[in-house]
């Protein structure tokens, strides 16, 4: 049975990030061929960097990405890699995107997730002193 845990020389981890990011001025440009190509590019870049896309939904004016990474990669590094790469390629392939000053906004939203809830972890830690 495959586990979602990432095994390294000195660590075992399960890091999942939920990202939401938008095109500049929240323009509805992520449709049809652009959306399909964005999905392919995100998959390619994630695979190249050893990351796992758990879920991906591309809306006309924003992207939801649920991604698994290594513990040595920060959310800022993830967004920098994905936004930079996809912006460059999409703007080369789709001339209508070149009229925008930039494809993506500089901002994004991120949250962490795992296999257990925050309440479960808190209870586990609180019960450590009472264990025999």
Distances, alpha carbon 112 to alpha carbons 94, 118, 123, 132, in Å? 33, 11, 19, 32
Of 86, 25, 14, 9, the closest CA to residue 52 belongs to 14
Active site includes 17?
no
For 8, 72, 88, 93, 99, the CA distances from 11, given in Å and listed in that order, are 5, 10, 34, 40, 46
Q: How far apart are CA 65 and CA 110, in angstroms?
A: 9
Which one of the listed residues 5, 17, 85, 124 is annotated catalytic? Answer: 124
Catalytic (active-site) positions = 124
């Amino acid at each position: 049975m495959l586990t979602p845990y990432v095994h390294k020389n000195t660590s075992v981890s399960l890091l999942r990030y939920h990202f939401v990011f938008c095109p500049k001025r929240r323009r509805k440009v992520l449709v049809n061929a652009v959306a399909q190509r964005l999905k392919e590019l995100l998959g390619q870049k994630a695979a190249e960097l050893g990351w796992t896309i758990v879920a991906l939904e591309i809306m006309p004016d924003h992207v939801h990405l649920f991604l698994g990474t290594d513990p040595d990669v920060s959310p800022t590094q993830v967004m920098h890699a994905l936004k930079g790469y996809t912006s460059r390629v999409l703007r080369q392939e789709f001339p209508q995107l070149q009229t925008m000053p930039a494809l993506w906004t500089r901002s994004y939203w991120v949250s962490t997730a795992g296999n257990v809830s925050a309440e479960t972890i808190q209870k586990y830690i609180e019960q450590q002193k009472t264990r025999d």
